[in-house]
Each structure stands twice: as structure tokens, then as C-alpha cells.
Amino acid sequence: MTSVSEIAQIVKSQESDMKRRLARGFIPRELELDKKDVKFDVASIITGPRRSGKSTFAFALLQNQDFGYINFDDERLSEITLRDLDKVLEGIYYLKGNVKFLLFDEIQNIKGWELFISRLVVSKRVVLTGSNSSLLSKELATHLTGRHKEYELLPFSFREFLEYKKLHPNLNGVYTTEEKAQIIKLLGGYLENGGFPIVLDGDLSRILGLYRDVVERDIIQRYKIRQSAKFKQFVKYLISNSSSEISYNKLKNIFGIGSFHTVQNWINFIENSYLTILVDRFSFKLKESILAPKKVYTVDNGFITQVTGSNEISRLIENTVLVELLRRKSYFDKSMEINYWKNEQQAEVDFLIRRGRSVTSLIQVSYANDKTEIKERDTKNLLLASKELRCNNLFVITWDYESEEKIEGKKVKFIPLWKWILGIK
């Protein structure tokens, strides 16, 4: 069993590592969470993919406060159990004194952790981070009902990516030809390599290591998946089909999986571990939405290009748009819901944005540089959905074509991806 003094030494070394990481430069994130939001009797939970910057973000949030930090995703703490968590606390106090804030990284690794936190939040301001959304939310709902607030941090947005590259976005949309060319060039790299902080300096091999960690440690080992070889093929198949519809029954047949529920469980494990994102088809009838095929997306383009070897630009653009929509929902507008639309004649619109039963906008994605490259079906399908859903806020996100046109009495706005993703009106 690890002693209090050994835990204190681990705490000290982990804090030193985090301080060195911050000293190398911290890019402020867009997630709206301030230290004043961290309150007594309410645990602040930051979830998100592995290596998306959760630890650095939380450490920076508290760095000028009286706080203690420990990361449970450390082999030196692999034997820690629920009974040892008080000793962990002692180790922090031994080193830091009676701190006001506590930051626990990947605490879901400790079975029964929620009981400890439930007791602790009464007297301390607590921040937790974790890379498994289901484990955190399920256990919190049971033991911290009404006493926790959840936040989700995704890999770098393109705006954050530009800040890292020392190019500060001008949100009024006024750019020189040279500035625009530089932004579009950087956007091409962002589309292909993604926004994980670990690859921003160009070491793309780290994406494959991260992918293996998530698949092996966060899914196969945690959920005790016996058919590990088949499961790895299953994950790769989902990622290779990003931006496409999937059917549970079709997946069951492709991989020779005996049970529909096994497919369902595997997909839930993958999604909870922040590898893929499922988008439901829209229907005013809940049953129809549940039974319809879903579209699968990947949490970061780096996984698509590095794991599958595919760099199909139209697929990468659509995946990027979905992740940016999800980021805007998570950071700024939790009432926003994201679906796709498809009618019985198979006419499809990539994204449908709604609040409750009210459809607020319809979005098509097109790799078009000028009007001649806009596919007729893209605008035709927008108009069909607009009439059916009574939505007049219609967009086509293009590569570099900008216009506003009236088609069959409906106004359609064509906006370049670089402007849309930067939030330029």
C-alpha cells in the first residue's frame, strides 16, 4: 500500500510536470468556466476525449488559487482503492496544507469514487476531469444529484488552433488576400491533422498512440471485451465510415456478431470514450427517430486520416462541421440539438439544428470553390426540407464560395468554411 509520504511525492512530481507544461505556453480555451463557478457542495466535472487538454485547462483555471492536484491515470497509483482515497487526501494536505480547492484527474479509475466526492464537496471546492462520459454521469446522477455541474472540453477549435499558430482571428471578417490565403492553408492542415494539442507541432505519430490507448485501456480493458481483435476491426470500420449512415443490424451481419445488443453495447462504449459521435435522423415521431439509421462521426479528423489512411476532403469537411457544431452546443448553447434530415425519397440534408420541436436552421456541406461546383441536389434537398419543416434559415457551407441567392423564393446563404468555422457573419 502506498504511504502518505509516497503520495505526497507523487503529488509534487505531478504538479511540477503540469507547471512545466503551462510554462511552455497555454492557449486560452473557449469553454466558459471560471474559478468563481467552482463552488462548495457542487462538483465541477470536465469531461472530454483523452489528451484534449482537460488537465491543463483545469490546472490553469486554479493555478493562482490554494489548491491540490492529483492525477489517478498514473501507474504509481494503480493499486489505489476507495479505502485509500482518504490517504490520498492526507498526502495532498501533507504537501500543500489545508487547501481550498481540489483537482482530481481521471478519478473514475477508482471504483466507488463518487461516494468519496459526495462527502468531500461539503467542505471543499472540487474539480474533476475524466475521459469517459458514461462512467462519470451515471455515477454522479446516483450520488451527486443536483450537486454537480458538467462541462465538456473537445480538441482545439480552429480559432484556438490559429491562436496557437500566433494568428489572431479578426472576427469582423476583414482580411487581406495574404491573410486569407494563410488561413485557408492552415485550415487545410487542421482538416487533415485535427485539433489534439499533442499534434499541433506536427508529430502525427502520437495520434496512433492515443488511439491505441483509448481502444485498449479505456474500452477493451475497462469493459472486459473478449473478442478484442474483432472489436478493433469494428472501431476502425466506424471511423472509416465517418459522415455515413450506419445500421446496427448491418454491422451485426458484417462482423458476424451474434447479438444485436452486443453491437449496441460496443457502440455505446466507443461513444462514451469519445472516439465517435452518433447523430440521429430527425423525426417529429420519437419512435421513427430511434429506429432510423444513425450517422457516425469521429471526434477528431486526426483519427480518420491516421487510423484509416483516408483524406477524402468532403468527408473531412463534413466531420469538422459536425464537431464544431457539437463544440458550440457544449460550450455556448446546451439547448441546441443536432440531427440530420432524410425523407422517404432519400433526399438528405447534412445537419438540422433545432431547439425542442422548433427547427432553427438547415445546413448542407459542399466542397465547392465556385457556383458551378455546387451540386443541384444540395440546394434541392435544402428546399424540400425547408418546406416540410417550415425553416427558412438555409446554409450551404462551401470550401471557398460565398454568395446569398434566392432560389424558388427561399434565401440560401453560401458561406466559406473558414468564415463559418471562425464565426464570421
Please indicate, yes or no, whether residues 143 and 212 belong to a single structural domain of this protein: no
pLDDT of residue 137: 60
pLDDT of residue 115: 87
pLDDT of residue 425: 73
User: Of 89, 120, 152, which residue sits at a domain end?
Assistant: 152
CATH number of the CATH domain containing 91: 3.40.50
Please indicate, yes or no, whether residues 328 and 406 belong to a single structural domain of this protein: yes
Please indicate, yes or no, whether residues 221 and 113 belong to a single structural domain of this protein: no
> For every one of its 425 residues, what pLDDT tens digit does the chain have, with 9 covering 90 and above?
579 999 999 999 999 999 999 998 899 999 999 999 999 999 999 999 999 999 999 999 999 999 999 999 999 999 999 999 999 999 999 999 999 999 999 988 888 888 899 899 999 999 999 888 765 665 566 667 778 888 999 999 999 999 999 988 777 777 888 889 999 999 999 999 999 999 987 788 899 999 999 999 999 999 999 999 999 999 999 999 999 999 999 999 999 999 999 999 999 999 999 999 999 999 999 899 999 999 999 999 999 999 999 999 999 999 999 999 999 999 999 999 999 999 999 999 999 999 998 999 999 999 999 999 999 999 999 999 999 999 999 999 999 999 999 999 999 999 999 999 999 87
Q: Does some domain include residue 332? A: yes
pLDDT of residue 39: 93
pLDDT of residue 10: 96
Q: Does some domain include residue 11? A: yes
Question: How many structural domains does the chain have?
Answer: 2
pLDDT of residue 134: 63
* Enclosing domain of residue 89: 4-152
Please indicate, yes or no, whether residues 8 and 148 belong to a single structural domain of this protein: yes
Q: Does some domain include residue 253? A: yes
Q: Does some domain include residue 171? A: no
Q: Does some domain include residue 49? A: yes
Please indicate, yes or no, whether residues 143 and 205 belong to a single structural domain of this protein: no
pLDDT of residue 140: 63
Please indicate, yes or no, whether residues 316 and 214 belong to a single structural domain of this protein: yes
| Three-class secondary structure assignment of the chain | CCCHHHHHHHHHHHHHHHHHHHHCCCCCCCCCCCHHHCCECCEEEEECCCCCCHHHHHHHHHCCCCEEEEECCCHHHCCCCHHHHHHHHHHHHHHHCCCCEEEEECHHHCCCHHHHHHHHCCCCEEEEEECCHHHHHHHHHHHCCCCEEEEECCCCCHHHHHHHCCCCCCCCCCCCHHHHHHHHHHHHHHHHHCCCHHHCCCCCHHHHHHHHHHHHHHHHHCCCCCCHHHHHHHHHHHHHCCCEEECHHHHHHHCCCCCHHHHHHHHHHHHHCCCEEEECECCCCHHHHHHCCEEEEECCHHHHHHHHCCCCHHHHHHHHHHHHHHHHHHHCCCCCEEEEEECCCCCEEEEEEEECCEEEEEEEECCCCCHHHCCHHHHHHHHHHHHHHCCCCEEEEECCCCEEEEECCEEEEEEEHHHHHHCCC
Q: Does some domain include residue 406? A: yes
Q: Does some domain include residue 246? A: yes
Please indicate, yes or no, whether residues 140 and 221 belong to a single structural domain of this protein: no
Q: Does some domain include residue 352? A: yes
User: Of 123, 152, 181, which residue sits at a domain end?
Assistant: 152
